[in-house]
Amino acid sequence: MVVFPAMVLKKSSLVLILAALAACSGQGDPDSPDVAVAAAGAPSCLAEPPAPVRLPGGTFTMGSDNAYAEEGPERSATVGAFWIDPVEVTNRSFAQFVEATGYVTVAERPVDPAIFGAPVETIPADMLKPGSAVFTPPDGPPRGEADWWSYVPGASWKAPFGPGGGEAEPAQPIVHLALADMLAYAEWKGGRLPTEAEWEYAARAGSPSGLEQPGPTKANSWQGVFPMANLEEDGFAGLAPVGCFEANAFGLYDMVGNAWEMTADPYAPGGERLPSVSSVSAGGNALPAAAVIKGGSYLCAPNYCMRYRAAARQGQDAGMGASNVGFRLVYDSDPAASAAK
């Protein structure tokens, strides 16, 4: 279980906290799903992201009974028509929002010790500083997720690896956002987070299986033995600029791989499915402690987290970001028409 609900956090142990941050877990999972892996090849990247794509909606098979337990039960789901961004939200796009509004993300704000539910003197000093969770390859054989996740003071969307680690690349997906940050951006942009059903419908793009796990030409994932050997056969050790890999049949890029993508569906401990919170807003009070993320990330490998697939799902703490979780927006009307008004 990797859900890390900040609002119910009662532990101050850094190890426990970091263990909960891995949004690409595989340890302790059932046997790896039987999924197909495509052949290798060199990617090329989009110069400009295309306009949002209108999807007609429809009825499709959602989830899977043939992979990780939390993906079931396989069932029929129906979504209406909607528009969707063909790429993950980029640092460039988010910077425009910050420029226009002065918004400060959760990772940049002072930490409220009350979220830990423990005496402040028992909380590691770094955890009381603004920051975020950063993937850090271990020096030696890892014992668990705490060996490759670090809480880095000063890490945020502007400084994805922390102070001195370089600035965010404008064309890469934005990461290190809490759910509230994503909702604030969505509100400004006139969109919203997709429900899990909408996201999976868009990612499947007509595929009846949802189990296809793409190879290096199809998605930015991890080739080699995670977390020790990153062979970079897809050309990227970490995040890639959006749109460097082949689009799916709906013309959508990086639905699988690159950054995990947040949805509007709460995630329940145990993995059972909860109703979508289509009204989830940046107001904050109604935000779930954890939400469903979809699509896997650049940290998903054949030996660990075979979740770079349409049907896969995982829980993510809604209260803080990580270096492998991003999002994309959907719209209930044509965003091009709205912008023209």
- Residues in contact with Ca ion by the rule CB under 5 A: 220, 234, 236, 254, 258-259, 261, 295, 298
| Nearer to Ca ion (CB atom), residue 150 or residue 297 | 297
| Nearer to Ca ion (CB atom), residue 194 or residue 295 | 295
Q: How far is the CB of 74 from Ca ion (least distance, A)?
A: 22
| Nearer to Ca ion (CB atom), residue 189 or residue 307 | 307
Q: How far is the CB of 131 from Ca ion (least distance, A)?
A: 23
Helices (H), ranges, the chain: 14-19, 91-101, 179-189, 196-204, 335-340
Q: How far is the CB of 326 from Ca ion (least distance, A)?
A: 7
| 188 vs 200: CA distance, rounded Å | 24
CB 289 within 8 A of CB 6: yes
Q: How far is the CB of 214 from Ca ion (least distance, A)?
A: 11
Instruction: Concatenate the DSSP letters of all residues of 183-202 into one string.
Output: HHHHHHHT-BPPPHHHHHHH
Using CA atoms, how far residue 7 sits from 18, 106, 268, 284, 315, in Å, is 16, 14, 14, 12, 15
| Nearer to Ca ion (CB atom), residue 178 or residue 259 | 259
Residues with Cβ within 8 Å of residue 85, at least 6 apart in sequence: 49, 52, 191, 328, 329, 330
Q: How far is the CB of 289 from Ca ion (least distance, A)?
A: 23
Helices (H), ranges, 9-76: 14-19
| Nearer to Ca ion (CB atom), residue 131 or residue 215 | 215
Q: How far is the CB of 233 from Ca ion (least distance, A)?
A: 8
Q: How far is the CB of 299 from Ca ion (least distance, A)?
A: 9
The C-alpha R_g of the chain, in whole angstroms, comes to 19
| Nearer to Ca ion (CB atom), residue 181 or residue 261 | 261
| Nearer to Ca ion (CB atom), residue 116 or residue 236 | 236
| Nearer to Ca ion (CB atom), residue 145 or residue 234 | 234
CB 139 within 8 A of CB 116: no
Strands (E), the chain: 53-55, 58-62, 75-79, 82-84, 131-135, 149-153, 260-266, 290-294, 314-317, 325-326, 330-331
- Decide: helix, strand or coil at residue 340: helix
| 298 vs 325: CA distance, rounded Å | 10
| 140 vs 135: CA distance, rounded Å | 15
Q: How far is the CB of 120 from Ca ion (least distance, A)?
A: 37
